[in-house]
Amino acid sequence: MIIDCHTHWSMDQWPQNKPDPETWWDVPGRHGIDHAIVLPLAALTDDTKLQLENDRIHQVCRESNGRMIPFCSVKPSQGDPAVAELQRCTGKFHTRGIKIHPWLQGTCVNTSHMDRICEVAGDSGIPLLFHDGTPCVSLPSQIGLLARRHPKTTMILGHLGLMEHWREAISVMRKESNIWGCLCGPHVAAIKEILQRCDRSRLLWGSDYGFGNVDPIDYRLDLLKIQNLKHGDMEKILDHNPKRLLSL
């Protein structure tokens, strides 16, 4: 089974009131993906769309026969409204996680606002998936500090440090046991070293599919396949780990 732990669904691209999962699923389906974690997109740059996009994502995932797994987003710096929106999503939709993109959302990671979101996420038993790998508000080490303050909350480095901060991501994963990493961004040599040095039971794989009509899935799968991992390790990363993360 292959679970893609990093995809996006955008209400700007799929503006229908009754969102239909089939067209979106064309690409993942073609590549043999069985499930995908679906993160918001339009709301990350325009927070007036947050509620509506959260609604639509949960709706489209509900229509997907369990293939699409919804994450919501909130803008932590809003304070009370952010907490309320998160509680709405956990209560009404049983959202499976939260996506935070610090630089797109104009949110610093190490703030009291973010702390409140982490507390609610921890209490609800859902993970936070961060965009990471870019200064000045999305470094793995910054998310590591947050994770240290919230040991009961699971946090995912959505890009494992991208092209330049992947060594930092390795250090953070080795230090903080509540940090997971999604292989979605680093190059071949970085992936190799991440696989050697990180706890493989906290590694996930993702494609970042969902931006317009581009298809990044086979390329990103190939980056993992050419590592020649043992079958058991591939199964862990593509299947067992995400199931454990999401209690599937």
CA dihedral 150, 154, 156, 161 (to 10 degrees): 40
Amino acid, res. 247: S
Q: Which is nearer to another protein, 26 or 222 (CB)?
A: 222
Residue 226 lies near another protein (rule: CB under 8 A): yes
Partner touching 189 among Zn ion, another protein, none, CB below 5 to 8 Å by kind: another protein
Alpha carbon separation from 76 to 105, 111, 215, 243 (Å, rounded): 9, 9, 31, 27
Site for Zn ion in 185-214 (CB under 5 A): 208
- Choose between 17 and 136: whose C-beta lies nearer to another protein: 136
**Cis amide bond preceding 184, omega within 30:** no
With CB under 8 A, what is the number of residues at the site for another protein? Answer: 24
CA distance 234 to 225: 8
Half-sphere exposure (Cβ direction) of 101: Cα atoms closer than 13 Å:
17
CA 226 to each of CA 22, 29, 222: distance values in angstroms, whole numbers, following the listed order: 30, 22, 6
- The least distance separating another protein from the CB of residue 162, rounded to whole angstroms, comes to 6
Kindly indicate which of the ranges 20-28, 71-79, 213-221, 239-247 contains the residues binding another protein, using the contact rule CB under 8 A: 213-221
In 3-state terms, what secondary structure has residue 222?
helix
Closest approach of another protein to the CB of residue 185, in Å: 7
Nearer to another protein, 61 or 157 (CB): 157
Would you count residue 133 as binding another protein (CB under 8 A)? yes
The rounded distance, in Å, linking the Cα atoms of 86 and 28 is: 28
- Give me the residues that bind Zn ion (CB under 5 A), please: 208
- Give me the residues that bind another protein (CB under 8 A), please: 103, 133-136, 162-165, 185, 187-190, 192-193, 211, 214-216, 219, 222-223, 226
